[in-house]
Structures are given as structure tokens and as C-alpha cells.
Amino acid sequence: MLPLEFLFSRTFSEDPYAAYAELRASGPVHQVDFPRGATAFLVVDHAHGRAALNDPRLSKDSAHSALPVNGDLFFGGTMLAMDPPDHTRMRALVAKAFTGRRVEKLRPRVQEIADGLLDGIAARGAADLIEEFAVPLPIQVICELLGVPASDRARFREWTAVLTVPALTAEARERRREVALAFNDYLTGVIAERRAGPGDDLISGLITARDGDASLTGAEMLNSVALLLIAGHETTVNLIGNGVLALLRAPGQLELLRSRPDLLPSAIEELLRYDGPVERASQRVALEDMEIAGTPIPKGAWVHVSLGAADRDPAVFDAPDRLDVTRAPKRHVAFGHGLHFCLGAPLARLEGQIAIGGLLDRFPDLALAVPAGELRHHRTGSIVRGLVSLPVRV
């Protein structure tokens, strides 16, 4: 049985892939020793992990668990925690507002924001790429997409830092409750303003979205905006940070990408596969007694799919621990798979291409400012993994 403490250890956070390789070599499914008698299983290969992500016997609704636990996000009523038919209806409505066309219209503005941040870094000659580039770029983009005032962005970062981390103490739970109420009140006010005077922003689009006679309820609207705001920047921060570090550690690949910018779209897919921001998919609950790869999974047990492990599976990817920006990118599961495939994938790809492409084009001498061994990773909500900081010289 796999100790839960190991999955949250510093050693594992710094390099989970070596541990996943050992686990995968001994089998695709491993029971995890969760506290309070909970039964949980971790899937670490590509074939069974991908299948589990779209298995109707595995529910996203924690109410089906034999031991309900606090979710990674405060807003339990989001699409992340729903099954069909509620998930189908809600996702269809959000998709009508969060369209590829709306995302593509953002390209010039994303480029403008990125260029402005790069100008500031160039003037200083050095930077923490997380704090000065990877964080402000996606949070500014998602706030503009939603129509949130620039003056409120600092508050959003503060709030999401609290809401995406499990509250393990009474003090942390109280702080989380206070922040959630403040976040709730703020978003309720913004949504009310858009109802009174719609604009060209995503919140207005969500208000007017219709699927036949169906529309989002007030609670669904609130939860959808909260999810888009939180997920819309936290994961992209780590796509940029993890991706830049991977390239700096593979100088041959960095130079190849710099000399062939046409490879940028496939390179982003490879960076997502190689060290994507979402290491494990949000948990699922077995609706019945079942098996995965011959391992019995009892009804009510939690099932966690490791996206990071699946995307380093040698049964699917040749030399999976090698970064290769020319690799055909189509089979990774960094955005999930099936019903819960990430709705924000087009925006993440757009931001990743502009951010990483802009860095490489602007700074031919980009280099780490500290030894790679001094860099540290952290987790958000136990599933998102990224760098605490990324000091560079430009």
C-alpha cells in the first residue's frame, strides 16, 4: 500500500516521475493509505488512466463516496464535481459563451500583455519568471476575458491562493470560509452588474447563453465564473514555469525551437506531456464494485488518475523522459480526456505559445540565475504542481 505522506513529501514533489516509473513497473494501479479508513487507488499508466477518465462507473460527485472529504476547490457545484445529465447541460451552456472564436479574438491582447511584461524584464536584465511573468500574464488575461477590473486582480490572486489549498486546520478552515464568502459576494455583485448592463465579456456571454429553454441558474453562474477565474490562471502559470524550466534544462531542444518557431504548437503539447501543470486529475468515486487492470475497486472508493505518470508511460511514448519538441503531440492527457476534458485548453495553448515563444524570441541569452537544484516546487490543491520561483538572467 502506498503511504499518503509519500505523495506529499518534498522528495516526491521535486521529481514525481522517477517514483511513478517505479510504481508503473510494479503495476498500473496502487492502493493509497488514506486516513480515517478511506479507500483510494492511484492509476499510473496511460491505457487504464485514460479509460478511467471517461468511465461512467466513476463519478465526479463526492456525495457517492463512502467517506466524503473536502474538495480541492471551495465551489463544489462546478462542472468538475458533476456527472451527466447535469454536467452535460452545464458544460454545453458554458461552451456557448467560452468559444474558440472568443479565445482567438484575445490573441492580439495576449501578445500586447506579454510584450509589456517582457519589456519590464528586459529593462531589469533579470527576473523571477514566475512572479514577474507567469503569474501576471494569465491572471490579467482571464480577468479581461471575464470583464473584471484591473484594480481587483491582486485580490483575486490572494483569494485563489486560499481557496485552492486544502484546509487542514481549524484556523485554515475559518480563513477559507471568510475568503469564500468575500469571493462569493464580489462575484455576485459583478454578475448583477452584467445582468443590468451586458457587455462583450465572458460573464455577459454566460448570462445570455441558452440551450433551448435551458440557461445557467444563479448558483451555476456563480460557480462557473469562480471555476473559470481560478482554473483559468493557476494552471497556465505552471504551464509557463514548468515549460521554460524544461527547455532551459534541455539546451539543444531550446535552440531547435528558437531556430524553428514553426515547432511552437507541437512544443507546447510536448511540454504539457513532459511536465504538465496538472499532475493528477481531480478525484473520482466508484459507483459500483469494479476492477481496473484486475485490481478490485470497491463501491465508494476514491480513484485518482495520475496524468503526469500516464504521460511518461513508455508503452505509449518512446523515451518518455526525454523532452522532444518534434514529438507528435496527440496522445497526451495533460488536459484530461472524455467528458471532463479541459474546456479552457484553447486559451491555455494560446497563452503558452505567446508566452514561451515571446521569451525565446526576445531573450537569446535566457539562462537560469541559480543552480537548478535550488529550485523548489509546490502544489496547489494537491493536484497542480509548479515552481515556487524561477530566477533567470536575460
The pLDDT of residue 73: 46
Average pLDDT for residues 382-387, to the nearest whole number? 86
The pLDDT of residue 177: 87
The pLDDT of residue 69: 52
- Report the domain count for the chain: 1
Most confident of 6-10, 153-157, 188-192, 293-297: 293-297
Instruction: Classify residue 67 as exposed, middle or buried by CB count within 10 Å of its CB (0-12, 13-18, 19+).
Output: middle
Q: How confident is the model at residue 35 (pLDDT cuts 50, 70, 90)?
A: low
Reply yes or no on whether the pLDDT at 129 is more than 50.
Answer: yes
Higher pLDDT: 57 or 214? It is 57
pLDDT in tens, 325-361: 999 877 999 999 999 999 999 999 999 999 999 999 9
Reply yes or no on whether the pLDDT at 150 is more than 90.
Answer: no
The pLDDT of residue 338: 94
Residue 388's domain comprises: 2-393
The pLDDT of residue 224: 87
Q: Return the CATH number at 301.
A: 1.10.630.10
